[in-house]
Amino acid sequence: MSHIYLNSSMLQQLNHTVQEYFSDWMRSQQTHFNHTTLATSPAVTKTSSTTFLATLAVAYLLYKWLLPATRTEAFRPVHFEVPLPEAAQKHWKGKRLHSISNSINEVDSDQRIQCYCPATGQVLGSLLPKTEQDIDVQISRATKAQLKWRETSLDQRTKVLVSLQDYILKNQDSIARVACRDSGKTMLDASMGEILVTLEKLQWIIKHGKKALQPSKRPGPTNFFMKWYKGAEVRYEPLGVVGALVSWNYPFHNLLGPIIAAIFTGNGIVIKCSEQVVWSSEYFITITRKCLEACGYDPDLVQLCYCNPPDATDNTANYYSSHPGLKHLTFIGSKPVAHHVLTAAAKSLTPVCVELGGKDALICLDSVKDLNALSSIIMRGTFQSSGQNCIGIERVIVSARNYDDLVSILESRIGKLRLGSDIDNLEDVDMGAMISDNRFEQLEYMIKEAVKQGARLLHGGSRYKHPNYPQGHYFQPTLLVDVKPEMSIAQNEVFGPVLTMMRAEDTADCIRLANSAPFGLGGSIFGQEYAECNFVADHLHTGNVAINDFATFYVCQLPFGGINGSGYGKFGGEEGLTGLCNAKSVCYDKLPFVSTQIPKPLDYPIRSNRSAWKFVKSFNTGSYTRSVWTRIKALLSLARNA
């Protein structure tokens, strides 16, 4: 829907018109009431009341819904354009690599990071990794830009987000194609997992971010003598320049998410993308920088860093994580890499929000009626982005009554899934490629090991050589049932297109199985009885839960993060914004003529320690006693020792 933009004078006129209408309408209603109340029948009176309520409802919708979306200049986007890379053009014919190594990326003789499409093997280009000197320059530039940016109003920052949102809405095809080129996913998966969630984050902050960052009034002291005149609040101020190390599975959303939160809270950001998706990240960062520039702000506020993984000869990644110029880090990735990041960040005492992997369970209780509808949710949650989703469904736990029926339904559906790439062709595909084939052996081993221990493999279980894209990284959609909690595949994150099913005896057993893995990111519960679902939610050891839905806690912009092996800290929602701020505690005098004074018995030099002690003891007693009589005695003691 197109927006209607009103300037301040137009808004004042509209507001005046609405007020005049209400005044006239209320006068007419009062006159009508005076003439008819005593003479009319109950039916007429009821009709008048209905008209009154209906008019109030319409006015409320107009005033609360239409005007807030159009009330200020902040909601008018600035338009800008970003040139599309050649490889992002539809039907681009790039050359393919003859062979793709199992390493994360191919690196040539001068250490350039080789980028290619995991779905087709087409070469996207190569880029030189950043050096330690490059990082110093990037943080320096971001710091300089942030000193001016921190002085901007929340409305000015909102205007930048509105402009960014407007660009994304108008360029969905191009953005999705760039993400697919670099990750191998399908266009549909990019639209849902990249664009939808980014637009939601933008829209949520545009609508609710300003309120989240307003000074938070606090109760103040409970001290009987101080509570009358002392006020307290928390003010949220920018930290400076923050950093984020983001994973490759959602190259657009994972990159934009931290940037959106950082710039709205008044911070600059130097974000480090995965070496797997450097090509697309360069394009996406250009969008944000161009947006800032078009709105009249320094694009140096946002910087992109990328380098090779740390080893004996290259310490650039650790140099970034330990840099004292970064005031906060958000890490999204695996537990082994998190150890490196946290060790490095400890050198500069940089706080880190850590979001690691998950082993999310979807629980199907006995009360579920429509298993066919549930199977659709399970398949979307398992196979979207080829299972490379931190909150993807890793385990389907089904109570005994529904287990066999749900297995049968999924067995009939999974075998029909089609693999391939729809980046250029209009062919119908269900699942794309994985980012790399470096974990294929591990996936095949875990599946074979589970089968040896009693699990049944009903579909897939191994890599797939696509006839049209032989260089692509494809793994067969897999259905593994009768999985036991002690199996390796039930304890370790798969992060691939493998649907594992576990049978539970009852609701209590569902909870036991769900809590048996060393992760605690998210989970889903399905059942007809809300009380039962709520009971299960209260007993899951996770940071996030969706009842009768899948992963919508993320779309709802709730604080997102896990416990145990899934990390700690939260991003997203109000907590995600305030977590990027210095929460400055401020106390003040509520009454201008009353302020704290040092009583004479406590003023230096102390005249009498005995009197001073009695004074403080009486002050403490009078401040915190629950007895009125005791407080009266304490007041008398204060007077005697003053």
* Residue numbers annotated as active site: 355
| Phi, psi for residue 564 in degrees, rounded to 5 | 55, -130
The residue to which tokens 């930048």 are assigned: 160
- Whether the CB-CB separation of 291 and 260 falls below 8 Å is answered with no
Tally the C-alpha atoms within 13 A of residue 32's C-alpha that lie toward its C-beta.
13
Q: What is the dihedral of CA 450, 452, 456, 459, to 10 degrees?
A: 80
Task: Count the neighbouring beta carbons within 10 Å of the beta carbon of residue 584.
Answer: 11
The residue to which tokens 């809590």 are assigned: 515
Q: Which residues of 339-353 are buried (b: 16+ CB within 10 A; e: fewer)?
A: ebbeebbeeeebebb
Q: Write the CB contacts of 10 (distance below 8 Å, at least 6 apart in sequence).
A: none
Extract the tokens encoding 256.
């934009």
Bridge-based pairing of strands 463-464 and 474-475 is antiparallel
**CA–CA dist 567, 569 (Å, integer):** 7
Q: Which residues of 161-177 are buried (b: 16+ CB within 10 A; e: fewer)?
A: bbbbbbbbeebbebbbb
Extract the tokens encoding 436.
């790399």
Extract the tokens encoding 80.
């800008």
Task: Count the neighbouring beta carbons within 10 Å of the beta carbon of residue 588.
Answer: 11
**CA–CA dist 472, 481 (Å, integer):** 28
